[in-house]
Amino acid sequence: MSRSKKSARINNAIKFLSAALVIIAVIAWNYFTAPSAPVIGTAEFYFFDVGQGDAELIRTSDTVVLIDAGPSSASDLIVAQLHKLGVRTIDVAIFTHPHEDHIGGAAAVIDNFEVVQAILPDVAATTSTYEKMLDALEKSENTTVTAGAAGDVIEVGSDGLRLELLAPCSTGYENMNDYSIVVRAVFGDNAVIYSGDAESLSESEILDSASLGALKADILKVGHHGSVSSTTEEYLSAISPKYAVISCASDNSYGHPHAETLSKLEAHSITVFRTDIDGDIVFVSDGEVIQPKA
């Protein structure tokens, strides 16, 4: 081999090694600088500002639970948020019901993260958004897809996070919103209820089927973006939350949240957080006290 050929090969080898080292350094940097998960014994509850829609995340030391993925217009945003939090695997993804403002970002989430279990209500839709989500789930070979309904209880991770499904209690609803999976997430003494878009019919079924003590929660993610069709007086009294979270876009065309819902929350002296005003909202629980993250 000529001297010039030999030096060219050495140069190529050096270039290849340098490129490999850069890639390894970038991977290591991302790995070690990714924000760490909550410490053992604590849980974080995120309510993302995705405009007009819902996307919530629960994280413990060893578990990630996603409830809804926002509208398709927020697909990039929700993927970026999860990356920013260092999420790689989603242990449980609950897509409450097939409306676009809840599952529009689902395909992007399923494509970008390892989803272990996806839970959907037992109802189909004919929309392209719904088809896109189903296609993504089908492609995602390691994802188990199950139908969720009232009475299901899922223990997630080893830190005591429990998901109790409160709805849907039945089938054959005329209104798709009433198919919403309603989740009570329990962590130690704390609980958060995620109402999806469940309306008064589903709320009354929840009140009929659950023992009232089992509905208490510190935080209520208010149903249907604060619409007047949800959050009956009875439902609110049974849950008796300290905090309420409303997920909606500012100046949305639906008039969410409705003034009547806001005055009901005020009459119960509930502190209200709104994604249209507060942006992303985060609460932290140590299993005894849950409070907004400073």
Strand-pair category, 161-167 with 153-156 = antiparallel
Instruction: Name the segment binding Zn ion (CB under 5 A); options: 74-82, 191-199, 210-218, 285-293.
Output: 191-199
Residue 182's beta-bridge partner residues?
167
Q: How far is the CB of 96 from Zn ion (least distance, A)?
A: 8
Q: What is the largest CA-CA distance in the chain?
A: 89
Positions in 89-108 near Zn ion (CB under 5 A): 101
178 binds Zn ion (CB under 5 A): no
C-alpha to C-alpha distance for 198 and 270, rounded to whole angstroms: 20
245: helix, strand or coil: strand
183: helix, strand or coil: strand
**Nearest to Zn ion of 254, 287 (CB atom):** 254
**Nearest to Zn ion of 22, 277 (CB atom):** 277
Residues in the interface with Zn ion (CB under 5 A) total: 2
Quickly list DSSP for 171-233.
Answer: S--SSGGGGPPEEEEEETTEEEEE-TT--HHHHHHHHHHS-GGGG--SEEE-GGGG-TTS--H
Taking CA atoms, 252 is separated from 51, 53, 240, 245, 258, in Å, by 9, 10, 28, 17, 11
Q: Tokens 């929840």 — which residue?
A: 206
Q: How far is the CB of 222 from Zn ion (least distance, A)?
A: 11
**Nearest to Zn ion of 112, 195 (CB atom):** 195
**Nearest to Zn ion of 91, 276 (CB atom):** 276
Q: How far is the CB of 195 from Zn ion (least distance, A)?
A: 10
Q: How far is the CB of 214 from Zn ion (least distance, A)?
A: 25
Q: How far is the CB of 177 from Zn ion (least distance, A)?
A: 7
DSSP 247: -
**Nearest to Zn ion of 55, 108 (CB atom):** 55
35's tokens: 């924000």
Q: How far is the CB of 246 from Zn ion (least distance, A)?
A: 11
CB contact at 8 A, 107 and 132? yes
Instruction: Name the segment binding Zn ion (CB under 5 A); options: 59-67, 158-166, 195-203, 276-284.
Output: 195-203
197 binds Zn ion (CB under 5 A): yes
Instruction: Name the segment binding Zn ion (CB under 5 A); options: 35-43, 193-201, 240-248, 266-274.
Output: 193-201
Q: How far is the CB of 272 from Zn ion (least distance, A)?
A: 18
C-alpha to C-alpha distance for 216 and 213, rounded to whole angstroms: 6
56 binds Zn ion (CB under 5 A): no
Q: Which of 225, 201, 103, 205 is nearest to 149 (CA)?
A: 205
Instruction: Name the segment binding Zn ion (CB under 5 A); options: 3-11, 196-204, 235-243, 253-261.
Output: 196-204
Instruction: Provide the binding-site residues for Zn ion, judged by CB under 5 A.
Output: 101, 197
